[in-house]
Every structure is written in structure tokens, then in C-alpha cells.
Amino acid sequence: MEAFFQQLVNGIAWGGIYALIALGYTMVYGVLKLINFAHGEVYMMGAMSGYYSARWLGLSERPGAASLLAALGIAMAFCAALGAAIERVAYRPLRRAPRLAPLITAIGVSLFFQNAGQLVFGADPKVAPQLLETREVLRFGEVGVTNLQLVILGVASALCVALTFVVQRTRVGRAMRAVAFDRETAALMGVPIDRVIAFTFALGSALAAAAGILVSLSNPKVDPLMGLMPGLKAFVAAVLGGIGSLPGAMLGGVLMGIAETLVAGYLSSTYRDAIAFVILIVILVLRPAGLLGHAAKEKV
Amino acid sequence: MKLRDVSRARLAGITPGVVLGLALALFACGGGGDRNVIKVGEFASLTGNTATFGQSSHKGSVLAFEEVNQAGGLLGKKVELESEDDQSKPEEARTAVLKLIRQDGAVAILGEVASSRSLAAAPEAQRAHVPMVSPASTNPQVTQVGDYIFRACFIDPVQGGTMARFAYQDLGVRRAAVLVDVKNDYSVGLADFFVKTFQQLGGQVVARESYSEGDIEFRAQLTKIRETDPQAIFVPGYYTEVGLIAQQARELGITVPLLGGDGWDSPVTLQIGKDAVNGAYFSNHYAADDPSERVQGFITKFRQRWEGETPDAMAVLGYDAARMLADAIQRAGSTDPQKIRDALAATKDFPGVSGNITMDAERNARKPVVILKIEDGKVHFVKALEP
């Protein structure tokens, strides 16, 4: 039984990462009806920018909360700009094109970053600098929780709360919801569509960057192809929770992390990647709107 | 390039003789027709997931052929090493070997370190009847591809079995767990022979868990292993994952020693693993702190050539494989691939840096296995075990 709880702790921490990536998917889908397949690569760029900024600023020599926050800040700012730039260059020109065109473009952007990443950063994996010493901070019997796992959960929850606040309580959040609800009408009411969409991309990309930093804390290996699998799985997590729904993305991410850990722990690690797609198929057959998705009322 | 040159020559109305000469020169570049050079091909993982393997073996081979050329070359000719990067991918390895054979006209091929990539490429060398010498692929299947495939290292049954004997006899381990990379022929082979030997000795394998190359999260499998309370965990993986596995194991409170194979031999194991890999043992082909003249002399030469870098086992094997091939070409007295093959097969007591090499009937090198221990972020020689 204790092993089960340990697996649960492992799974929830792992799922926090998926949740952060899934939020970006779901937000972009909410406002644009576009599945941004390049989102996994933004996550990779987040981890990479954390790696390089930590090296150039010498953050790894002073591990601690300040260094972690600095790396998080830099990576999130960088990826927010990157996300907005991707939207401007790749998706905005296709705003009036059939829906398939931006989708294929998204796959193209994803491939571009994977291969450009190998060219610029090199294909060999890099060791992410240690921004925080690993320590076990909580213990219940045999079940241990490390500070890294708490940091992952803490940062992920804090960002989720902040995001919900932005979407529900601010002017730009209201604009985002308006665009999600009906883009045409929102435009007629004077909502600056392009700026709102760019802001959505920036916000989602910043969250992906945070996930990139968090993953390189607990699993310190970064490489240009690291975004591929987590990107796909976070997409499944977003669908599981109900694509377009923010609480759904968080729930879907955490459930996905738990499912993967339990499968690897009790069946075989060989099925770890398969479980995500089994979940995708089952949810599409049984409840296509996802766990928390309703018929298109509360989106973004 | 080729076409443009020729058509320009025609336009200028140059005599047919010049055109013919030009075409011949181009042919010589592409077809390996230069008679004063012996072309040896090499495919290695110069980039990608296991880039340090390829870079190290490449440096060893380059050093070996430079020495051969300084000493007058082979059969009165210079040796030229054509290197291809396979980016640590099996499909690229196959393409690289095809290019080396068909375009560069290599008389023999060196490579690869990783068994899965050697296995992907070996059938092409065998089909073309060009001898291929793998410096460090330890999976038995590699040389079973055919009679043109050789290796300069021991094989997994020897390595996995030796580690099992060491764990049982020297460390007193009776309950062992295994964590294996299921996507990797090398890792699966090592695990199989470890389990077999360990059980024959009377030990108990309490858990056998798996992961896939490229994974970064191992806590689920390690939590499961922790439940079975083993006295040692055998992790026959490659260095990128091993460091992460060690860290996550320590984080979960697993303190028993980790055991591994020659796939651990890279500075990256220590960079990622840090304190977590202290106390771990792994088997290897050579130890840098082995006091013998042959080893220390090689280290000095290698450091001079490569800016003070200390050679790892892959560099030593890359060097040994190249020297062994050069020795075979010399003894064959010809660059005919079949004669080189016969000479390689007859290799006996060749004095390699990693020990005396004799080819057995299955074209595997027979030589001792070295056991190393990681302590305080450094690798120390423990003992050498005869197979």
C-alpha cells in the first residue's frame, strides 16, 4: 500500500508538468480552435533558455529559490515573446484560411524547431544545471516527498491560480473569453482580436516554459527533441480534461501523470507511452467533450 | 558541380582530351581510385544521444592511423580515414556504411560502438564483402551477421556474466534487481546474461523492470524495485539515462550499490549522476589508472594529440580496432577485402592497449574484463577478471 502512495506522489508531481503544458494547448484551442502542435517545442525552448541563462549568469553556483525564480522569469519571458512571434509569423497570415491550413503549419513549426534546435544547440543531450538541491522534506512511513516535487506542484498550482485570475478577473481575460465565445461578434464590439490572440499565445507559451524549467529540475537532461512526447501527451491531457477548459487541462494533466506512473509501476514501462493514446481513444469514444468540457459554453 | 564543369568546358571548345582528363579526375574523387592511398571507412556517433562514444572512438582511430602513416604507412601507401556521422541513429548508420562502401570505396570499415547501430549496418558490409571491425559493440549477434564482421572487444555474455560473478562473490550480493533499457539490444543482452549467471551461482533476481532509451522519469520503476528490497541493482544502460536513474534512486531512499556495464563509461555519467553514482561498480575494457606501461604510454600519446584529454574505454577500443585492422592489412599484403578478412580472422595475441587480443572462431576478441568503482566523483580500478 505504501508503494502505491509513493507511486501516487510520483505521478502527481509528474502530472503537474503535463498540466502546465496542457493549459497552453487548451487556451489556444479556446480562442483560435487551433491545436498548436508546436507547443511541445515551446516547452523545449523554455528548458533550453533556462539551461543557457543559468550557465551564462552562473546560477548553478548559487542554487536556491532566487536562482530558480530568475531562471523561471527569464525562460517565461523569452517563451512568451517566442509564442507571440510564432503566432505572428506562422498563424496570423492564415487567420482566414481553412482550419486544416494552420494545423499543418503548426506541425511544420514543430518540425522546424526540432531540427533548428539540433542545428543550433547540437543533438547531444545537455545536463541541466542544478538550481535546487534535492532533499526529502516530508515522510509518511515509507512514502517520501522531495522538495523538488513540492516545488513542481507549488509552482504549477500557483501558475494555475494566477492564470484563472487573469482569465476571469481582468480586462484582457474578459476579451479572451469574448473572442473564444464568438470571434466575429467580439471584433464588432471593438475587441482587438489580433492583440488578444497574441496575448493568449504569450500566456500559454510562458506556462510551457515554466514546465520546461520544472522538468529540468527533477529530470536534468535537456535536448532538442525533448518536447515531442510531452507535447503529444499534454495534448491528450487537454482532450481528456475537455479541450478549451482550464480546470479540465489541469485535471487531465495530473490524471495523465498518475496513469503513466501507475502503468510503469504495476504493468510495464513499455506501456507507459501507450496508455496516453489508449486514454485518448477511450475518451473520444465515451465522452468526446472531455471530463470537464461542456457544450462550448465556458471556454478559455 | 560536376555537370557544370563539363558543360562549361564544352562551351569553351576545349579539346576532348582535357574533358576526358577532367572526367577522370572527378571519377578519382568520387570512386576511391587513387592508387597511393588505402581508404578505410569509419561510421561513428559523432552527435546525438551517445555522442561521446563516437567522438572517443573516432579520436582513438584517428590517432592510430596517424601513427601508422608516420611510420611509413601500409604496403607503401598512406591510410586515409573517411568518417561518417550516424547521429546515434541505427537507420543513419546503415546509410553511412552504404556511402562508405559505394561512394568512397573503403577497403574495410571501423564502427560502431553501439550494438544496435552495428547490427543495423553490418548486413550491408557483409553483403558487399567488406570487412567491418566494431571497436566496442558487445552484443553477440553483431558478429553473427556474417564472416566479414569482427570486433575488438569482449561480448555481453562475458561482461554480464563477469558482473554477476563479481556481485555474488566479491560483494556478497544474494538478492539483485535489474533495470533494463528494452529498446537497446546491448542492454537486454547484458541483463539476460547477468540474470542467467547470477541464478546459476545461487542468487535470486527479485525484480526485472524496464525503461526505454530517451526516458527521463524512472521513479515508478524504482519505487517498485524498492519494494523488493534488493542488495544491488544492475542497470546495464547508457550513460545519459544511468545518471538520472542513480539520482532518482537516491532520492527515493535506495542506497544499495548500482552495477553497470561499459555503457556507463562517459564523463556524463558523473556529470548527471553527481553524488548519486558514488559507490557504483561497472565493468569496462580498460582502466585509466591501470599502472601498466602499455596503458600509461597510450594515455600520454593520446593526451598530446587531443589537448590533454584522458582517453576513456571507447577511445582505447577505437585505437585498438584501428591498429588491429592496420596489422591485418599489413599481414594480408594486399588491400583485397577478402585477404584482409582472412588476416583479421587469424589475429593472435595482438598487443592492444586493452589487453592481448586473439580472435576466436566467432570473430570475437577474447580478453580480460576490468571492474571499476566510482568514488568521490572519480573512477577507480578494482580488479581485472579473466572471462
Q: Does B247 touch chain A (CB under 8 A)?
A: yes
CA distance A290 to B96: 47
Nearest residue on chain A to B54, alpha-carbon basis: A124
Q: Does B177 touch chain A (CB under 8 A)?
A: no
- Has residue B11 got a pLDDT over 50? no
What mean pLDDT is predicted for residues B272-299? 89
Residues of B in Cβ contact (< 8 Å) with A134: 247, 251
pLDDT at res. B231: 96
- The beta-carbon neighbor of A265 closest among B88, B223, B247 is B223
pLDDT at res. B27: 46
- The beta-carbon neighbor of B209 closest among A125, A263, A269 is A269
- Has residue B202 got a pLDDT over 60? yes
Q: Does B187 touch chain A (CB under 8 A)?
A: no
Map chain A to HEC letters. CHHHHHHHHHHHHHHHHHHHHHHHHHHHHHHHCCCCCCHHHHHHHHHHHHHHHHHHCCHHHCCCHHHHHHHHHHHHHHHHHHHHHHHHHHHHHHCCCCCHHHHHHHHHHHHHHHHHHHHHHCCCCEECCCCCCCCEEEEECCEEEEHHHHHHHHHHHHHHHHHHHHHHHCHHHHHHHHHHHCHHHHHHCCCCHHHHHHHHHHHHHHHHHHHHHHHHHHCCEECCCCCHHHHHHHHHHHHHHCCCCHHHHHHHHHHHHHHHHHHHHHHCHHHHHHHHHHHHHHHHHHCCCCCCCCCCCCCC
Residues of A in Cβ contact (< 8 Å) with B219: 10, 14, 261
- Strands B149-151 and B132-134, by their bridges, are parallel
pLDDT band at B31 (very low <50, low <70, confident <90, very high): very low
- The beta-carbon neighbor of B252 closest among A144, A215, A219 is A144
- Has residue A142 got a pLDDT over 90? no
pLDDT at res. B28: 44
What mean pLDDT is predicted for residues B82-89? 92
Q: Does B223 touch chain A (CB under 8 A)?
A: yes
Residues of B in Cβ contact (< 8 Å) with A273: 212
Give the A:B interface size as CB pairs under 8 Å.
88
- Has residue A67 got a pLDDT over 50? yes
**pLDDT tens track for A224-253:** 999 999 999 999 999 999 888 888 999 999
- The beta-carbon neighbor of B48 closest among A14, A124, A220 is A124
Say yes or no for a CB contact (<8 Å) between A269 and B211: yes
Say yes or no for a CB contact (<8 Å) between A265 and B221: yes
List beta partners, residue B81. B40
- Has residue B70 got a pLDDT over 90? yes
Residues of B in Cβ contact (< 8 Å) with A270: 182, 210, 212
User: For residues B180 and B210, is the Cβ–Cβ distance under 8 A?
Assistant: yes
pLDDT at res. B21: 47
Three-class SS state of B243: helix
Higher-confidence residue of A88 and A295: namely A88
Q: Would you tell me how many other CB atoms lie within 10 Å of the CB of residue A76? A: 24
State the ipTM, two decimals.
Answer: 0.82
Say yes or no for a CB contact (<8 Å) between B182 and A269: yes
Nearest residue on chain B to A225, alpha-carbon basis: B214
* Alpha-carbon distances, residue B165 vs A93, B80, B172, B237, B385 (angstroms): 66, 43, 10, 19, 10
User: For residues B29 and B82, is the Cβ–Cβ distance under 8 A?
Assistant: no
CA distance B57 to B311: 9
Say yes or no for a CB contact (<8 Å) between A123 and B88: yes
Q: Does B227 touch chain A (CB under 8 A)?
A: yes
Say yes or no for a CB contact (<8 Å) between A123 and B219: no
- The beta-carbon neighbor of B268 closest among A123, A127, A146 is A127
- Put simply, whether the predicted model's pTM sits higher than 0.80 gets the answer no
**pLDDT tens track for B166-193:** 999 999 999 999 999 998 888 998 999 9
* Alpha-carbon distances, residue B188 vs B156, B175, B193 (angstroms): 9, 19, 9
What mean pLDDT is predicted for residues A50-77? 88
pLDDT at res. A156: 87
CA distance A18 to A231: 8
High-pLDDT (> 90) share of chain B, %: 63
Q: Does residue B112 have a cis bond before it (omega within 30 degrees)?
A: yes
pLDDT at res. A268: 84
Place of cell 607503401: B76
- The minimum CA-CA distance between B208 and chain A, rounded to whole Å, is 10
What mean pLDDT is predicted for residues A30-55? 91
pLDDT at res. B133: 96
Which among B187, B210, B219 is the top mutation candidate for probing chain A, defined by the most A β-carbons within 10 Å of its own β-carbon? B219
- Has residue B29 got a pLDDT over 50? no
Three-class SS state of B369: strand
- Has residue B18 got a pLDDT over 80? no
Residues of A in Cβ contact (< 8 Å) with B58: none
Q: Does B253 touch chain A (CB under 8 A)?
A: yes
Q: What angle do CA A19, A20, A25 make, to 5 degrees?
A: 90
Residues of B in Cβ contact (< 8 Å) with A63: none
pLDDT at res. B156: 85
Q: Does B209 touch chain A (CB under 8 A)?
A: yes
Place of cell 507549488: A154
pLDDT band at A295 (very low <50, low <70, confident <90, very high): low
Higher-confidence residue of B337 and B387: namely B337
For chain B positions 33-72, those within 8 Å of chain A (CB to CB) are 47-49, 51-52
- Has residue B19 got a pLDDT over 90? no
Residues of A in Cβ contact (< 8 Å) with B88: 123
pLDDT at res. A294: 67
Nearest residue on chain A to B244, alpha-carbon basis: A219
- Has residue B85 got a pLDDT over 80? yes
pLDDT at res. B8: 40
Average pLDDT over chain B, rounded to an integer: 87
- The minimum CA-CA distance between A17 and chain B, rounded to whole Å, is 12
What mean pLDDT is predicted for residues A56-84? 89
High-pLDDT (> 70) share of chain A, %: 98
CA distance A228 to B214: 11
- Has residue B387 got a pLDDT over 80? no
Say yes or no for a CB contact (<8 Å) between B51 and A123: yes
Please enumerate in sequence order all residues whose Cβ is within 8 A of that of B198, keeping only pairs 6 or more positions apart, or say none.
B164, B167, B168, B176, B205
pLDDT band at B273 (very low <50, low <70, confident <90, very high): confident
Highest mean pLDDT: which of A21-30, A268-277, B12-21, B298-307? B298-307
